[in-house]
Structure formats: structure tokens, C-alpha cells
Amino acid sequence: MCRKQQLYKIHEKKHGKVDSTHPINKDLDAMELFRTFKKYDRNMNGTLDFSEYTQCLVETPKINLTKSEIVTVAMVADTNGDGCIDFEEFMKHFPDILNMI
């Protein structure tokens, strides 16, 4: 949770107050998040490694992050520190990231 709060603070410094109603999130439900996760789980091991998750961030419409922001977001998404993002982490993290942008 601490890393997530730090990311919010960095975002607020750079862009102002966090808007929690990103337009893409209005179309995201659990099934759409599952489809997105499966699309980027290219090796079909049930997790997104660093390169798969960063590719997801790069290809998501209306997300314009710098390379360093993408790296930061990908590192923060791995909440249990195992080096990859499982579906539970993705479900919690991906909509939050959209809201911060």
C-alpha cells in the first residue's frame, strides 16, 4: 500500500489532483479485465511478467506514460514482490492506474 500512495503523491505533484473517473474504467468490468489480462499473458503461465505488463500499459488507449513512468507503474503493480503480476494484482492495480492518469 505504501508504494501505491507514493505513486499517487508523485502523480499529484506532476499533474494535480487525482481524478478517479478515467473514461476507460467506465467500460471495464471483471470480464473485460480478464480478457485484457489473458491477451497480454503471452506465455500463458497465469501471470504477467515485467515485459508483458509494460506492453499492456504501452498499448492501452489514452495512456500516455513516459518510459520511466511505465517502469514505475509496473514495479508498483507487483504488490507481493514475486517479480510478476498475477490476476489478483492486475484486478486491483490496473483500474487504479487508469484513474491516476
Other CB atoms within 10 A of residue 18 CB: 15
Whole-number pLDDT of residue 33: 80
CB contact burial 63-100 (16+ within 10 A = b; e otherwise): bebeeebbebbbebbbeeeeebbbeebbeebbbbbbbb
Residue with cell 514475486: 82
**Is the entire prediction scored with pTM above 0.85?**
no
pLDDT higher at 42 or 100: 42
Phi and psi angles of residue 37, each rounded to the nearest 5 degrees, phi first: -60, -50
Query: Mean pLDDT for the chain?
Result: 77
Domains and CATH numbers, the chain: 2-100 (1.10.238.10)
Q: What percent of the chain has pLDDT over 90?
A: 22
